[in-house]
Amino acid sequence: MQRTKRNLRRELLKTLGAGALATSVAGCASIPGSSASYRRPYSRNPWVAPRISHENRIREVVGHRPYRPGGFVVRTERVGDKIVVHNYGHGGAGITLCWGSSALAVRETMGMEHRDVAVIGSGVMGLTSARLLQDAGWNVTIYTRDMARHTTSNVAGGEWGPASAHDPDVSSAAFKSQLEFALRISHHAHTNLGGADYGIYWKELYYPSNNAQRESEGSYGHLYPYEGTLGPGEHPFNTPYAHHAVTMMIEPATFLRRLTEDVHQARGRFVIRNFADKESLLSLPEPVIFNCTGLGARQLFGDEDLTPAKGQLVFMPPDPAVDYLTIGGGDGLCYMFSRSDVVLLGGTFKPGDWSTNPEPAETDRIIREHRKIFAGFA
């Protein structure tokens, strides 16, 4: 590699001449006060603003987070002659929590003599539950209305963080302990799968803010390396401060596709089937059922605490030069996640809203606020 670089440099010198090359390099130098002149805490690349406009958008997407103010459910109950293990209600943190929550659910099967299990749902909870069950020696059949690419998991943002996993003013101390345990397991599992194969990448995460102090991440803050704060004059965002850390971006399409392949390779079966009620679910031949139906658990098992939290996203074409993420910095909920498939702009969080249509006013707000956030980039 070093020899190749020297050869390229030699050819440039021959072609352009040393003076021309020096002029070219000087022309690329950082301009004081420009986004290229700021030093980033992790990446060595210059800051590049995403190209945000109505004209550049690909489409708007609506998804419904399966939100429970008291937090997600992992528990076992006997229904008739079936053993039902519940694993649902993760809000906007399904991808973040999937390995940890599914590990807790699979732990519920310890001591069971049965080896055949039905997993209901092929979103991220269904797939990770299936994989961990297979590793524990179970014969898995996934029953699903839709394959993974058509689930809510596939329209997730994918940034690793427990967003809207619960309402801390409502959830119990026992749940908060369960959440922390699940986060630690998930973080470890995701880091082990990092790279293009599973679509998991480390990226800088910025929180543009008017406040010098950022709200603490609590007991799991140490899972975010490179934490710190940039003050006025140290960053290009249109706010006085920019808090920062490094976190994982899990790209849903790649991650779900790879999990589906893993289930197949471990001899799991997929059966397309929709369950209208609990009775049809209990007619399955498997003695053990994993309920990973997300929002569907409200209808199937009568969980009235489970509600949709409508999220609206705006997709822009991918831009490899934008190699970081942002949360906050504008009016309302704002986040920008740059992925290999899209630049994603969000968003909304509307509990109880079952509508599936994008709202033009929200699209306008999302685009307008993000243009303001990046207005300071030269």
Each residue's pLDDT tens digit, 151-186: 999 999 999 999 899 999 999 999 999 999 999 999
For residues 288 and 75, give the distance between their C-alpha atoms in angstroms, rounded to a whole number.
Answer: 13
Q: Mean pLDDT, to the nearest integer, of 134-145?
A: 97
Predicted local confidence at residue 146, as pLDDT? 92
Check if the beta carbon of residue 149 is closer than 8 Å to that of residue 261: no
Q: Is residue 16 part of a domain?
A: no
Query: What contacts 289, CB < 8 A, 6 or more positions away?
Result: 82, 83, 84, 85, 117, 118, 119, 120, 281, 282
Annotate the chain with three-state secondary structure.
Answer: CHHHHHHHHHHHHHHHCHHHHHHHHHHCCCCCCCHHHCCCCCCCCCCCCCCCCCCCCCEEEEEEEEECCCCCEEEEEEECCEEEEEEECCCCCHHHHHHHHHHHHHHCCCCCCCCEEEEECCCHHHHHHHHHHHHCCCEEEEEECCCHHHCHHHHCCCECCCCCCCCCCCCCHHHHHHHHHHHHHHHHHHHHCCECCCCEEEEEEEEEECCCCCCCCHHHHHHCCCCEEECCCCCCCCCCEEEEEEEEEECHHHHHHHHHHHHHHCCCEEEECCCCCHHHHHCCCCCEEEECCHHHHHHHHCCCCCEEEEEEEEEECCCCCCCEEEECCCCCCCEEEECCCCEEEECCCEECCCCCCCCHHHHHHHHHHHHHHCCCCC
Q: Is the pLDDT of residue 92 over 50?
A: yes
Q: Mean pLDDT, to the nearest integer, of 65-83?
A: 96
Q: Is the pTM of this model over 0.85?
A: yes
Predicted local confidence at residue 35, as pLDDT? 66
Residue 74: both structure tokens together: 């992992």
Which of 268, 301, 279, 161 minimizes the C-alpha distance to 218? 161
Q: Is residue 154 part of a domain?
A: yes
Give the type of residue at 225. Answer: P
Q: Bridge partners of 81?
A: none
Each residue's pLDDT tens digit, 127-136: 999 999 999 9
Contacts 24+ apart (CB under 8 A), 133-136: 133/106, 133/109, 133/290, 134/263, 134/266, 134/267, 134/268, 135/266, 136/106, 136/109
Residue 310: both structure tokens together: 């409508």
Q: Is residue 22 part of a domain?
A: no
For residues 62 and 91, give the distance between their C-alpha atoms in angstroms, rounded to a whole number.
Answer: 14
Q: What are phi and psi of 53, to 5 degrees?
A: -165, 160
Predicted local confidence at residue 222, as pLDDT? 85
Task: Please state the domain count of the chain.
Answer: 1
Work out the pLDDT band at 113, boundaries 50, 70, 90.
confident
Residue 136: both structure tokens together: 């524990």
Q: Is residue 206 part of a domain?
A: no
Q: Is residue 53 part of a domain?
A: no
The CATH number that applies at residue 288 is 3.40.50
List, edge to edge, every strand of the sheet that includes 82-88. Answer: 73-79, 82-88, 288-291, 116-120, 139-144, 269-272
Q: What are phi and psi of 330, to 5 degrees?
A: -135, 180
- What is Dmax (Cα atoms) for the chain? 84
Q: Is residue 141 part of a domain?
A: yes
Q: Bridge partners of 272?
A: 144
Predicted local confidence at residue 163, as pLDDT? 87
Each residue's pLDDT tens digit, 57-72: 999 999 999 999 999 9
Q: Is residue 17 part of a domain?
A: no
Provide the percentage of residues in the chain whose pLDDT is more than 70. 89
For residues 276 and 292, give the distance between their C-alpha atoms in angstroms, rounded to a whole number.
Answer: 15
Work out the pLDDT band at 343, boundaries 50, 70, 90.
very high
Predicted local confidence at residue 308, as pLDDT? 97
Instruction: Determine the structural domain holding residue 146 and report its residue range.
Output: 66-198+251-296
Q: Is residue 36 part of a domain?
A: no
